[in-house]
Amino acid sequence: MLRVGVTGGIGSGKSTVARRLAERGAVVIDADQVAREIMEPGEPVLEEVRTRFGDGVIRPDGTLDRAGLAGIVFTDPGALAALDAITGPAIGRRVARRRSEVPPGTVSVFDMPLLVERGLWVHEHVAVVVEAALETRVHRLVDQRGLDEQDARNRIAAQASDAERRAACDIVLTNDGTTSELADAVDTLWRDRLAPWNDNLVHSRPSRRPDRGAVVAPRSDWGERGARLVARVAHALRDVSAVTEVEHIGSTAVPHLPAKDVLDLQVGVRDLEIADSPAFTTAMREAGLVRFAHLTRDSPQPPDLDPDGWPKRVYGSTDPLSIAHVHVRRTGSPGWRLALLFRDWLTHEVEGRDSYAAEKSRLLAMDDRTSAYAAAKEPWFAAALPRAEAWATATSWSPR
């Protein structure tokens, strides 16, 4: 099942987005609702809150004085951190149980205000942030929720900034317009990305890049997208002890270089057999990646080397709008080293990068089919390898 995290600052409209996704067929777990449940009378968490913040945050009927607690924590970062330390683990356990009960094949949405602050976005296949201008949010909180204006501003200031959320999230929905406009945006997201993505996951079907016109001008978001995917894959593989590192490689990891809009990652392992194990394949599937069974080796460089010395495994993303390939290679193997060498050489040597960009343009002018283009690049790599190796020697480069 596809896991979708939805977040946004207070007053942004994230709950409206979550409700619309529920109308489209998703099962929504609301972190705020769970937080209310664990604070009901008789719950252990409520007693921990009473112990930390005093009897003054408990009403005579034994229920939590939410406004009183908010007045304490939203003006004191230390108090807010203490509250999060009490409630966070309990919320996490209950959310995990609820998500485990979602029917197979159903999109699971986690509506979570602190998705970014707590680093929980790495658990999700995709994170959506809902944004609105500061004054719009303040206006909503005052007019629709009856908050004092300063209280509204304090609550907003206590949360992550828009820039912090954007860095961690894959999709931005702007909610400065009407409710109808926001609903249309959610419907488009569901139709074009979330529903097909979930279908790909259910059927273990990796997304495919187009065979023509796949190479595009350098995109400013490749670095951030690559970093998010690295974090998700590393998180998914955290319990696989044979994994040594996860890195963004390939042309999209090189600034200012035209490339196929395909993220390439490399997972280093101590033994390639681990990539065929159930633990590894299950972890990769948790990250939304499925195996390309027919891809089992790299093209040797130089080409006259024994191809049996260049084995690998390749996994593909199931996201229909953000294609990624994850190459699994033994740490220290020739293919593993070469991927890191070319990335670093092209990043630091403008002449090499410009030469590669010119070769890409020349080949695409003759035949822009992806299949033909990939094969035609091999002679350039063979000719460039001595230059890359000379740079490595001159700079004392070694793979990380």
Q: Which pLDDT score, from 0 to 100, does residue 367 have?
A: 74
208: pLDDT confidence band, cut at 50, 70 and 90? Answer: confident
Say whether 193 sits in a helix, a strand or coil. Answer: helix
Q: Whole-angstrom Cα distance, residue 21 to residue 24? A: 5
Task: Please check the confidence at residue 270 and state whether its pLDDT lies above 90.
Answer: yes
Closest by Cα among 164, 165, 137 to 152:
137
Give the number of residues written for the chain. Answer: 400
26-30, 107-111, 377-381: lowest mean pLDDT where? 377-381
Domain 215-395 class in CATH: alpha beta
The letter for the amino acid at 263 is L
Point out the annotated binding site: 11-16
Locate the domains of the chain by residue range: 3-202, 215-395
Q: Which pLDDT score, from 0 to 100, does residue 301 have?
A: 86
Closest by Cα among 32, 27, 36 to 100:
27
Q: Whole-angstrom Cα distance, residue 256 to residue 36? A: 48
Q: Whole-angstrom Cα distance, residue 377 to residue 356? A: 9
Q: Which pLDDT score, from 0 to 100, does residue 363 have?
A: 82
Q: Whole-angstrom Cα distance, residue 345 to residue 352? A: 7
| Rounded mean pLDDT, 297-310 | 89
- Read off the pLDDT of residues 152-201 as tens digits, 9 standing for 90 and up: 898 898 888 999 999 999 999 999 999 999 999 999 999 999 999 999 99
At 7, list the tokens.
């977040």
Give the architecture (CATH level 2) of 3-202: 3-Layer(aba) Sandwich (3.40)
Helix axes 77-100, 44-53, angle to 10 degrees: 180
340: pLDDT confidence band, cut at 50, 70 and 90? Answer: very high
The letter for the amino acid at 393 is T
Q: Which pLDDT score, from 0 to 100, does residue 235 have?
A: 96
Say whether 291 sits in a helix, a strand or coil. Answer: strand
Strands 3-8 vs 108-111: parallel, antiparallel or unpaired = parallel
111-115, 336-340, 358-362, 363-367: lowest mean pLDDT where? 363-367
Q: Is 382 exposed, middle or buried (0-12, 13-18, 19+ CB in 10 A)?
A: middle
**Helix extents (H) in 210-348:** 222-236, 278-286, 334-348
373: pLDDT confidence band, cut at 50, 70 and 90? Answer: confident
Task: Please check the confidence at residue 400 and state whether its pLDDT lies above 80.
Answer: no
166-170, 233-237, 334-338, 374-378: lowest mean pLDDT where? 374-378
Q: Whole-angstrom Cα distance, residue 196 to residue 285? A: 16
In the block, tokens 């990539």 appear at: 275
Higher pLDDT, 338 or 378: 338
Point out the annotated binding site for ATP: 11-16
At 344, list the tokens.
């670093």
Q: Which pLDDT score, from 0 to 100, does residue 366 have?
A: 81
| Rounded mean pLDDT, 372-386 | 85
- Read off the pLDDT of residues 140-156 as tens digits, 9 standing for 90 and up: 999 888 888 998 898 89
Q: Which pLDDT score, from 0 to 100, does residue 213 have?
A: 67
Q: Which pLDDT score, from 0 to 100, does residue 148 have?
A: 87
Whole-number mean pLDDT of the chain? 93
157 Cβ contact list (under 8 Å, min separation 6) = none
333: pLDDT confidence band, cut at 50, 70 and 90? Answer: very high
Task: Please check the confidence at residue 265 and state whether its pLDDT lies above 90.
Answer: yes
Q: Is the dihedral of CA 79, 81, 85, 90 positive or negative?
A: positive
Say whether 238 sits in a helix, a strand or coil. Answer: coil
